Homo-oligomer: A and B are copies of this chain.
Amino acid sequence: MAFLALGTVALDNVKTPSGFKKNMLGGSAAHFSMSARLFDDVHLVGIVGKDFPKMHLDFLKRKGVNVSSVTIADGKTFRWTGEYKPEDLNSAITHETELGVLLDYTPVITDQQKKLDYLFLANLAPTVQERLLSLMPKPEFVGLDTMNLWINTALRDLRRLMKKVDMMVLNDAEARMLTGERNAVAAARAIRAMGPRLVVIKKGEHGVYVYGGNFQFAYPAYPVLKVVDPTGAGDTFAGGLFGYIAKCRKADQKTLRKAVVYGTVLASFNVEGFGMGKTAPLSMKDVEKRLKEYQAFCAF
């Protein structure tokens, strides 16, 4: 069954110790979809400008991503220029952000899409995320991601939205910022008290911690010897996680554990190459192969 994913579609310029790449296809919804498409039929909801290269849209389509609700607006596509320094490949330094068409974006979806009942709100302004949610009469399961910018500038909107979602996915720095709790275990409890019944805290190279009220679990990251470009790793993780949940059409503990493992495996591919260099060519066979390695890695 199909599901919706709202978020940014961007053109990224990224510098890392491994090199510098310009005009890559990026953005939260694009990375999310490149991962989620392996599990289920993902409908991307977002906006680009008239300058957006047709080859990127064709590429998404070829990968099985439904782009019928990607608005092509007058104006420029959202652009991000950032850098990762060798001493901290976990933290991006933003050099430039050009919001372009994102500034006036109101999500539009088809009547058919309004009936879909699994929805992931990838990183975007909380008011825009909430707008899309308001178009859905009765979604069964809603996931939410965010970023430090919205915690700093749109906390009230974000807190209101958090009450309406089932699962929140965020990184450890964001969890700390949102709750004041440095300890991920304590932060997850505080976030759950704000609304979402499932809280997934991404810790990059340190793996992931999940809290669901009457259960909790943590898994390490898949070991990556050389991180080439971490851009989109969190979105790729969320894509594997949510894609598997949407495919199973349930998010009980057992499904969630497996979903987090898929997210972990997908994210490990993402950081091994620039942009979608390593995730775009993947088949489920590649994913299952690494999942087996990961199982051996974690076993005791």
**Which of B86, B205, B219, B258 interacts with A220 by CB under 8 Å?**
B219
Q: How far is the CB of A293 from chain B (nearest CB, A)?
A: 10
**Known: A183-B227, A220-B218, A225-B185. Contact between A300 and B87, CB under 8 A?**
no
**Which of B189, B218, B223 interacts with A297 by CB under 8 Å?**
B218
Q: Closest 9 A-B residue pairs measured CB to CB? A: A218-B220, A206-B206, A257-B300, A185-B223, A185-B225, A261-B300, A217-B297, A186-B225, A220-B220
Copies in the complex: 2
Enumerate chain B residues within 8 angstroms of A298, measured Cβ to Cβ.
217-219, 298, 300
Alpha-carbon separation in the docked complex, A247 to B186 (Å): 36
CB<8 Å pairs between A and B, sample of 8: A183-B225, A209-B223, A217-B297, A217-B300, A218-B220, A219-B220, A220-B220, A257-B300
Q: A194-238: which residues lie under 8 A (CB-CB) from chain B?
A: 203, 205-207, 209, 216-221, 223-227
Enumerate chain B residues within 8 angstroms of A297, measured Cβ to Cβ.
216-218
Q: Interface residue count for A (Cβ, 8 Å)? A: 35
Q: How far is the CB of A99 from chain B (nearest CB, A)?
A: 32
Enumerate chain B residues within 8 angstroms of A206, measured Cβ to Cβ.
203, 206-207
